[in-house]
């Protein structure tokens, strides 16, 4: 069965520090997708990135970067020069093809609460 | 930009009452989902819906839950007889489908069962 582990429950950093959020996953699928979502205090889920299992290139988007390593089943997320507005819960998720083949579901990790202090 | 909309944003109900949570998915999307997040916990899959029927459901989605797409635009989640442990944030999501389909989430409906 698929599983996503975010071992860091809470992280606190001071503004402008870099911070890395860890994500380790388990799946039997050869084709799968990995996601990161941000959940600010207001509660909505904000999509950050999707990465498929065949693309191990690291990705950078502004202050955000992602490191996908299939060999260690990890998909870590780094925020460079953190800001107070980055404070949120961050969820890593894994998407696999459902048994019906017609839809996919996301399995979420338990989330990492990031607090950026001014 | 198209978005998934959910109503109500917050509902308070008494245990044993029926609740209907409503969602309007993005108009050209084909797959619809409900997820649940108990306060402080992870987001959990409840059910997926495609071509007017349930594709998959989790163990959480027992007989007290049902989903419906009554009019081609709304997608509803009904909880027949609410229990205290149904208190959670319920997220609706939709996607066009296919293996590259990004899941778009609504802002959630918070259900409080007293």
- Do the chains contact at A98 and B56, CB–CB below 8 Å? yes
Q: What is the pLDDT of residue B98?
A: 60
DSSP single-letter state for residue B39: T
Residue A99 has pLDDT above 60, yes or no: no
Average pLDDT over residues B100-105: 74
Chain A touched by B45 (CB under 8 Å)? yes
With cut-offs at 50, 70 and 90, classify the pLDDT of residue B101.
low
Chain B touched by A71 (CB under 8 Å)? no
* Number of Cβ pairs < 8 A linking chain A and chain B: 69
- Do the chains contact at A45 and B108, CB–CB below 8 Å? yes
Q: Strand runs (DSSP E) across chain A, as ranges?
A: 3-5, 10-14, 19-21, 24-26, 33-39, 46-52, 59-61, 64-69, 74-79, 88-97, 104-108, 112-117
Tell me the percentage of chain A whose pLDDT exceeds 90.
64
Average pLDDT over residues A109-116: 97
Residue B96 has pLDDT above 90, yes or no: no
Average pLDDT over residues B100-109: 82
**B111/A58 Cα distance (integer angstroms):** 39
Chain A touched by B42 (CB under 8 Å)? yes
Considering only CB atoms, which chain A residues are within 8 Å of B104? 47
Please give the residue that has the higher pLDDT: either B51 or B1: B51
Residue B60 has pLDDT above 90, yes or no: yes
Considering only CB atoms, which chain A residues are within 8 Å of B67? none
Average pLDDT over residues A60-89: 94
Residue A113 has pLDDT above 90, yes or no: yes
Please give the residue that has the higher pLDDT: either A6 or A99: A6
Chain A neighbours among B 74-93 (CB < 8 Å)? Answer: 89, 91
Hey, of B8, B9, B23, B43, which one would you mutate to test binding to chain A, going by the most A CBs within 10 A of its CB? B43
Q: What is the pLDDT of residue B10?
A: 96
pLDDT tens digit string along A15-54? 999 999 999 999 988 888 899 999 998 888 888 988 888 8
């Amino acid at each position: 069965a698929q599983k996503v582990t975010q071992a860091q429950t809470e992280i606190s950093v001071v503004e402008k520090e870099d911070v890395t959020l860890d994500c380790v996953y388990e799946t039997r699928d050869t084709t799968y997708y990995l996601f990161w979502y941000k959940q600010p205090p207001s509660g909505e889920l904000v999509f950050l990135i999707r990465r498929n299992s065949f693309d191990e290139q690291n990705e950078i988007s502004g202050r955000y970067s992602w490191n996908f390593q299939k060999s260690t089943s990890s998909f870590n997320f780094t925020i460079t020069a953190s800001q107070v507005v980055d404070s949120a819960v961050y969820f890593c998720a894994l998407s696999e093809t459902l048994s019906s083949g017609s839809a996919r579901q996301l399995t979420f990790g338990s989330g990492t609460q990031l607090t950026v202090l001014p | 930009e198209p978005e998934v909309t959910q109503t109500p944003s917050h509902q308070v109900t008494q245990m044993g009452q029926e609740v209907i949570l409503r969602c309007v998915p993005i108009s050209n999307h084909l797959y619809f989902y409900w997820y649940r997040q108990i306060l402080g916990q992870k987001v959990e899959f409840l059910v997926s819906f495609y071509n007017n029927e349930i594709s998959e459901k989790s163990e959480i989605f027992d007989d007290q839950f049902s989903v419906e797409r009554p009019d081609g635009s709304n997608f509803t989640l009904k909880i027949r007889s609410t229990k205290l442990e149904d208190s959670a944030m319920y997220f609706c999501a939709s996607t066009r489908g296919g293996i590259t389909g990004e899941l778009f989430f609504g802002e959630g409906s918070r259900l409080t069962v007293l």
